[in-house]
Structure 1
Amino acid sequence: MTQSPDPMLDVSRPDRRRAFFLLFFSLMAIGAGNTMLIAAVLPPLTREIGLPDWMAGSIFALSAFWWSVSSPFWGKKSNRFGRRRIAAIGLAGYGLSMALLLLFGWLSLSHTITGTVLVFACLAGSRSFFGLIGSAANPAAQAYVADRTNPAERQSEIAFITSGFSVGTVIGPAIAAALVATAGLLSPLALSAIIAFTMSALIWFRLPEQRAPVTDATLFEEEPGARGLWRSGSVLPFLIFAVLLSLTTGILTQVFVFTVMDRMGVAGREAAQFTGPAFTVGALAVLLAQLVLIPRLKMRNKTLMIVGCLPLLAGAIILVFARDYASLILAQFCIGLGQGLARPGFSSGASLAVSPQLQGNVAGLVISANGMGFIITPFFGLYVYQYVNPHLPFVFCAGLLVFMILFARFALKDGIGEYDE
């Protein structure tokens, strides 16, 4: 027999809060590992083994492609098999990706494998496991929260869960800087893999969920309204904004690392001592937005999206003119604050725009859109930075953010993705 999705759990039940914290720590593990990789491991690694800067971005771009393709698939599967199983699979896939990056990174540094194409293929293939399988964790976690919250609390609870990723980005760079300095460039990858596999086991055995797997022919049926959901007028504007935001933040994040290395004149292990603290400041700004500002200001989702673009715009402009480390830190704070405000806006807005039966579907679409911009960031960001003009990526982002403000203001109709107070 096919079982319908669980009814929303009683908001006073302590097991719901424990479950949310478990998902919080799971996303924190992913956030910490990703920031370690971006801020302290992959850019110095690719420069040490002689890969062009744009190839470092392309490794993330390929993973982002698979992320965007796979996230809707995993979101749908979480409707059928349950959020718990899919989230655990995602954490395990993320751990596998980090373990393979550790292996091939070591083989590259030891010159066991050589050649630009071969090294790039090994690193890109390893990271792709995160996009293909690791992408299951986020839509399952978001849909789990949506299943168990009413419309009035969904924005703050989704912000809480996603802030787990942000907490990870706070502690990740600091841990990475210490590990790289004491245990070697690749040591953060080993730690990330161990934590990911541990969290996968905890999700599998400890996350409460009563939904049973669907085993009959309805496994292949779609929920009413699921087909073409991304084209619906209530969801598409949020997805467009998410893609543009991912493109902007992808460029600012990836180019920022190389900007710090070039403007501060550092490389290799030394680079982590500069990029790590900068990303920690940015992540603290995300937490400030998601855990302090959003619950207190209680802005509409549309307003959050518009307001979030303003500090991002300031950060992009600062990066054009930054010449010292303090200015770079300030830019990263602005970028973090903007992301922290804007992302819960479109995530909760899209969730509130559909029925409870479609939460897995819309969560997959949102997570997919949120990674789609990273597919092309190496070409708009790192390639332009390295071969055209180092300031042009930031100017491009500033112009795109102005467009996003206007888009959110006029393309999002009042009432879409909002709840009645």
Structure 2
Amino acid sequence: MAGTKDPLPDQSRPDRRGAFILLFFALMAIGAGNTMLLAAVLPQLTREMAMPDWMAGAVFSLSALLWSLTSPFWGERSNRWGRRKVAAIGLAGYAASMFFIWLTGRLALSGMMTNIIVVFVCLALARSLFGLIGSAANPAAQAYVADRTSKAERQGEIAFLSSGFSVGSVIGPAFAAALVAWVGILSPALVTALLAGTMAALVWWRLPETRAPVADAVKLEAEISAKGLWHSDRVLPFLVYAVGMSLVTGVLTQVFVFAVMDKLGVSGREAAQYTGPAFTVGAVAVLLAQLVIIPRLHLRNKTLMWVGCIPLLMGTLMIVFANDFASLILSQFLIGLGQGLARPGFSSGASLAVSPQLQGNVAGLVISANGMGYIVTPFFGLFFYEYVSRELPFYLCAGMLIAMFVYARFGMKDGLGEIRDDD
């Protein structure tokens, strides 16, 4: 059909790199806020309030459900409204979410809100703004990059974009530890709200959007093609793997903070001095994988997926037997290395599996799958950790990683989500 071919007009524009860097910093703001929230705010706040550990994870669970439900919607909206507008909306929603988390925490610690159930509900609703609106940023950013890269460039550029989140994860825990020590456990949430709000304004005003939303005829064809996209044999294998990765990393991230407190015998406030550096080391490993290893080795997407499972499995099992901070640090390095290899594999593979007109749709599906595991991690992670066995969540993750390795290595078709000779 004439007019359906996407000329990708921005591939050779001199301002393309600047636009990618701006989105890099936007995702960095999200990455920093999420790790600060995980490492230094919610676990410590819930223990300060004498709330059950599983409530900290459950706050993320509702948000993850909304994230998974709305990410495909935002990916499709970015086709209609433009990537810039949707990315800015997502960042603004994230800023609002962090502000209301800060406000709830202030009311709780000051004694103005003392009922644990009320505090839990307010925290969950505040975090849900991230799942409902903040979920717009990631699919719009990924689709923006896919619009402006050739197939040969896409794996490297998506890895670069993903590393923005990782850079934020590097900065976040260390910065949060300092803020908690100097100002208080809620200060990282307020700083993140201000940072995300600033990035929303910069994306809205400064991100070049010279590629117009798709024409009506192309839009109609894309919508028809997008129906059932999630269960097509081109995309579903990447989504299945992404859900598994989400489940594993969700459990490991949420349970690790409490494991550090219990293994090292530190309190909620002191824990930030340990979890912050540990998450920082993990994020450095992600950067090593995405900015050094992937660009130099040029591995296939499928290979990145099964290779990434190996250090993830090693790091997971190391947490079980770790009794000192050095071992916990090393476990986070291995976990970060595995994530850094695997995530660009399935993200780039899914993008290469569809046409240019469906980049927003497939980006939304991938981001949705990335959040699905967090819906149930409080039950398979923190609930089992607190009430069944402190080792069980890590053994469950190890079993999942073995299954993912076998699936990616032997269950996926060769050449799926790769550049073909006729591309």
> Which residue in the other structure is 1:237 paired with?
237
Name the CA distance, whole Å, in 1 between partners of 2:307 and 2:214: 42
> Which residue in the other structure is 1:302 paired with?
302
> Which residue in the other structure is 1:31 paired with?
31
> Which residue in the other structure is 1:377 paired with?
377
Q: CA deviation at 1:5?
A: 9.1
Name the CA distance, whole Å, in 1 between partners of 2:382 and 2:271: 17
Q: CA deviation at 1:168?
A: 0.2
Q: CA deviation at 1:114?
A: 1.9
> Which residue in the other structure is 2:150 paired with?
150
Q: Are the counterparts in 1 of residues 166 and 283 from structure 2 also a CA contact under 8 Å?
A: yes
> Which residue in the other structure is 1:101 paired with?
101
Sort the Cα spacing of 1:214 and 1:10 in 2 relative to 1 into closer, same or farther, 3 A.
closer
Structure 1 segment 323-338 matched on structure 2, within 5 A: 323-338=323-338
Name the CA distance, whole Å, in 1 between partners of 2:219 and 2:232: 24
> Which residue in the other structure is 1:210 paired with?
210
Alignment coverage as a number of residue pairs = 419
> Does the alignment pair 1:357 with 2:346?
no
Structure 1, unaligned stretches of length 5 or more?
A: none
Name the CA distance, whole Å, in 2 between partners of 1:415 and 1:245: 21
Q: CA deviation at 1:412?
A: 1.2
> Which residue in the other structure is 1:186 paired with?
186
Deviations 1:122-181 (A, max 9, x none): 000000000000000000000000000011110000000010000000000011011111
Name the CA distance, whole Å, in 2 between partners of 1:396 and 1:402: 10
> Which residue in the other structure is 2:65 paired with?
65
> Does the alignment pair 1:44 with 2:44?
yes
Q: Are the counterparts in 2 of residues 171 and 280 from structure 1 also a CA contact under 8 Å?
A: yes
Name the CA distance, whole Å, in 2 between partners of 1:215 and 1:347: 26
Q: CA deviation at 1:374?
A: 0.5
Sort the Cα spacing of 1:380 and 1:84 in 2 relative to 1 into closer, same or farther, 3 A.
same
Name the CA distance, whole Å, in 2 between partners of 1:67 and 1:265: 34
Write the letter of the residue equivalent to 1:323: N
Q: Are the counterparts in 2 of residues 75 and 364 from structure 1 also a CA contact under 8 Å?
A: yes
Q: CA deviation at 1:51?
A: 1.1
Name the CA distance, whole Å, in 2 between partners of 1:10 and 1:217: 21
Write the letter of the residue equivalent to 2:378: P
What SS does the aligned partner of 1:354 have?
Answer: coil
Name the CA distance, whole Å, in 2 between partners of 1:230 and 1:214: 21
Name the CA distance, whole Å, in 2 between partners of 1:366 and 1:152: 20
Q: CA deviation at 1:103?
A: 0.3
> Which residue in the other structure is 1:114 paired with?
114
Q: Are the counterparts in 1 of residues 65 and 131 from structure 2 also a CA contact under 8 Å?
A: yes
> Which residue in the other structure is 2:398 paired with?
398
Name the CA distance, whole Å, in 2 between partners of 1:340 and 1:20: 19
Q: Are the counterparts in 2 of residues 7 and 147 from structure 1 also a CA contact under 8 Å?
A: no
> Which residue in the other structure is 2:163 paired with?
163
Write the letter of the residue equivalent to 2:183: A
> Which residue in the other structure is 1:314 paired with?
314
Q: CA deviation at 1:117?
A: 1.4
Q: Are the counterparts in 2 of residues 81 and 211 from structure 1 also a CA contact under 8 Å?
A: no
Q: Are the counterparts in 1 of residues 214 and 357 from structure 2 also a CA contact under 8 Å?
A: no
> Does the alignment pair 1:268 with 2:248?
no
TM-score by length of 1: 0.96
Write the letter of the residue equivalent to 1:273: Q
Name the CA distance, whole Å, in 1 between partners of 2:163 and 2:111: 39
Q: CA deviation at 1:7?
A: 3.3
Q: Are the counterparts in 2 of residues 223 and 357 from structure 1 also a CA contact under 8 Å?
A: no
Q: CA deviation at 1:32?
A: 0.3
Name the CA distance, whole Å, in 2 between partners of 1:89 and 1:211: 18
Q: Are the counterparts in 2 of residues 7 and 148 from structure 1 also a CA contact under 8 Å?
A: no
- Aligned-residue CA RMSD in angstroms? 1.7
> Does the alignment pair 1:14 with 2:2?
no
Name the CA distance, whole Å, in 2 between partners of 1:326 and 1:248: 22
Sort the Cα spacing of 1:14 and 1:222 in 2 relative to 1 into closer, same or farther, 3 A.
closer
Q: CA deviation at 1:320?
A: 1.0
Name the CA distance, whole Å, in 2 between partners of 1:6 and 1:207: 21
Q: Are the counterparts in 2 of residues 6 and 210 from structure 1 also a CA contact under 8 Å?
A: no
Write the letter of the residue equivalent to 1:347: S
Write the letter of the residue equivalent to 2:385: Y
Deviations 1:327-365 (A, max 9, x none): 000100011000000000000000000000000000000
Deviations 1:294-317 (A, max 9, x none): 000100000000000000000111
Q: Are the counterparts in 1 of residues 312 and 334 from structure 2 also a CA contact under 8 Å?
A: yes
What SS does the aligned partner of 2:223 have?
Answer: coil
TM-score by length of 2: 0.96
Name the CA distance, whole Å, in 2 between partners of 1:9 and 1:377: 42
Q: CA deviation at 1:217?
A: 11
Sort the Cα spacing of 1:36 and 1:403 in 2 relative to 1 into closer, same or farther, 3 A.
same
> Which residue in the other structure is 1:75 paired with?
75
Q: CA deviation at 1:13?
A: 2.7
Name the CA distance, whole Å, in 2 between partners of 1:147 and 1:214: 11
Q: CA deviation at 1:225?
A: 1.0
What SS does the aligned partner of 2:7 have?
Answer: coil
What SS does the aligned partner of 1:223 have?
Answer: helix
Q: Are the counterparts in 2 of residues 255 and 381 from structure 1 also a CA contact under 8 Å?
A: yes
Deviation larger for 267-276 or 72-81: 267-276
Write the letter of the residue equivalent to 2:87: A
Deviations 1:216-239 (A, max 9, x none): 899888533100100100100000
Name the CA distance, whole Å, in 2 between partners of 1:43 and 1:21: 32
> Which residue in the other structure is 1:141 paired with?
141
Write the letter of the residue equivalent to 2:360: G
Deviation larger for 162-171 or 219-228: 219-228
Deviation larger for 199-208 or 210-219: 210-219
What SS does the aligned partner of 1:224 have?
Answer: helix
Sort the Cα spacing of 1:171 and 1:5 in 2 relative to 1 into closer, same or farther, 3 A.
farther
Write the letter of the residue equivalent to 1:23: L
Q: CA deviation at 1:50?
A: 1.4
